Homo-oligomer: A and B are copies of this chain.
């Protein structure tokens, strides 16, 4: 479609200029489909005419562009969850839950969020944090829910005591209205109008995605941690779960069994605590596996460092001491001992499973018991057990032996012959370099491009806010490597990892489960290096499906 300017002077037609006509996602989708159906363009051309990112406009309520033009943003942060959100400012998860349950629209504003804030994040229209990066807790959770979110807003200072949010010269109080544009990262004072449509009622959208599905080679999976998310993911077209994180399953009431395990002084004590977690974990996995049926579900074993499960504030430490019947000094000492200088490079991932094999055992048992239960109910599920943070083949072998032993025991106990795989996340640079060695025993690879990007660049995703803006402004980086795969650097490691992995295991299943799995350019890169699937937040699946189709069309066109 072209916008053309012309004039007629003295009976003569003058064409002044012509350029591609701007259209929003809804219009672009409709035009592409209608033109194809009228025989003006092929289906392939139709698929290429919609930018995958334009689908965001159909998938999320968007800020009315007309309103955005007449208002000035009071601050800017990182666009962590697309779409728009408007509501009253609240500064605590409890308050968000309280007002949200009454049907009030609220925006949760915090320095950062933690798993303990989730109950207030859910009812909020949007989330705004002053700290954190594109893969901070707030960003990950919000994107998983398709919720509008802005993080790392350095211009925002929160005064919790006086319940006010200070944006430079503008100070907003609790209850004041605020509007976020999560697609651009801009923040407005007051209530701005949003526009929303329901994609499922849009026949053009459905048709275009149907064509995309028939065209793409890459499979698409979702990152989902609960049966509810898994169900939603299937609705968005998920052909499996590429990343089911298990750490969320240790919060809420279960934190007490987890803390008991952390405080235990010996193996027996840890096992007692883990025994309490086992039935709950089994139930988690049962729910997700059953929803997904025969679709593969990649379950990542416990990943975060243990200090994320202990309280750092005095009051909470006292509560912990009293509930576990130990002294406050013991709690403090443990919290202190677990503290790390650089937790992201610390005692976590498979390193935990190697120090405490009983954690791996419990999780492997929970997964296999859940799978056996599904089988016994006639549902043939397909768990893929993923060992995180592998850097050497020996680490993988160590953990695989444990998982395999437990799996065989459970399947014998239950008399079921469950099909399963044991594989690993490739998220440490060294793992990509020695992928041939790792693939000798690993049955699948999933590229964890969030951590891989952090370590390959030496950027902490939580701290990069301090310089990443400068880097983008000064064109030192072309784009944020946490949003789009850095093909020049990180991409080399991914390509090397795929090639070397398949050099020792030709049928190695390879996917990606970092945030990049929902980024169109990154999806195309994944296609080019020969991955089997991409996995992303459920709400980004339509984008991934279209991008995957475009990748194939573009590749075949040469």
Contact = CB atoms under 8 A, between A and B. Distances in A.
A347 B345 CA distance: 16
Interface residues of A, number: 49
Given A429-B456, A456-B429, A463 B391 contact: no
Contact of A342 (B395, B429, B460, B470): B460
Contact of A340 (B428, B463, B492): B463
A346 B428 contact: no
A474 interface: yes
A477 interface: yes
Nearest to A489: B430
A475 B398 CA distance: 10
Contacts of A488: 433-434, 437
A534 to B, nearest CB: 22
Contact of A355 (B394, B470, B477): B470
A378 interface: no
Number of copies: 2
Interface in A421-476: 427-430, 433-434, 437, 451, 454-460, 462-464, 466-467, 470-471, 474-476
A399 to B, nearest CB: 10
Given A430-B457, A433-B489, A455-B455, A467 B354 contact: yes
Contacts of A485: none
Contacts of A355: 466-467, 470
A428 B454 CA distance: 10
A235 interface: no
A433 B354 contact: no
A493 interface: yes
Contacts of A486: 430
Given A389-B458, A430-B457, A345 B342 contact: yes
B354 A474 contact: yes
Interface string A138-170: 000000000000000000000000000000000
A426 to B, nearest CB: 12
A389 to B, nearest CB: 7
A394 B476 contact: yes
B354 A458 contact: no
A343 interface: yes
Contacts of A346: 460, 463-464, 466
A454 B354 contact: no
A434 B391 contact: no
21 contacts: A340-B462, A340-B463, A340-B466, A342-B344, A342-B462, A343-B463, A345-B458, A347-B466, A347-B467, A354-B467, A354-B471, A354-B474, A354-B476, A355-B470, A391-B458, A398-B476, A427-B458, A428-B458, A429-B458, A430-B486, A433-B492
